[in-house]
Amino acid sequence: MGLQEVARLIASGDVSPVELTQRMLDRIAKVDATLKSYATMMAEQALAAARAAEQEIRAGKYRGPLHGVPIAVKDLCYSSGVRTMGGTPVLKDFVPDFDATVLSRLYEAGAVVLGKLNLTEGAMAGYHPDFDIPVNPWDASRWAGVSSSGSGVAVAAGLCFAAIGTDTGGSIRFPSSANGVVGLKPTYGRVSRFGVLPLAESLDHVGPMARRVADVAIMFDAIAGFDPKDSTSLRDSAESSFGGLPRGVEGLRIGFDREYALAGVDGGQAASIEEALKVLTSLGARIVDVRVPDMTGIPEAWFLLCSSEAVAAHSANYPSRATEYGPYFREFLQFGAAATETQLAGARKIRGDIARRLTAVLGEVDALACPAGGAPAWPISKETQYGSMTAYNAALAARSAASDPPLKRPTVFTMPVSLAGAPAICLPSGFSADGLPYSIQFVGRHLSEPVLCRIAHAYEQATSWHTRHPTAS
Catalytic positions, written as ranges: 74, 147, 171
Is the N-terminal amide bond of 405 cis, ω within 30° of 0? yes
Cβ–Cβ < 8 Å for 51, 18: yes
With residue 359 as reference, give the H or E element that holds it: helix 341-362
CA end-to-end span of the chain, whole Å?
16
Task: Report the alpha-carbon distance of residue 253 to residue 287 in Å, rounded.
Answer: 6
Half-sphere exposure of 443 (CA within 13 A, CB side): 31
217: phi then psi, degrees, rounded to nearest 5: -65, -40
Task: Report the alpha-carbon distance of residue 441 to residue 166 in Å, rounded.
Answer: 16
Please give the angle made by the CA atoms of 462, 211 and 134, to the nearest 5 degrees.
140
DSSP string spanning 328-355?
HHHHHHHHHHH--HHHHHHHHHHHHHHH
Task: Report the alpha-carbon distance of residue 470 to residue 459 in Å, rounded.
Answer: 21
Task: Report the alpha-carbon distance of residue 405 to residue 265 in Å, rounded.
Answer: 9
Task: Report the alpha-carbon distance of residue 251 to residue 249 in Å, rounded.
Answer: 6
Nearest to 362 by CA among 464, 473, 256, 461: 256
Radius of gyration of the chain (CA): 21
Cβ–Cβ < 8 Å for 416, 354: yes
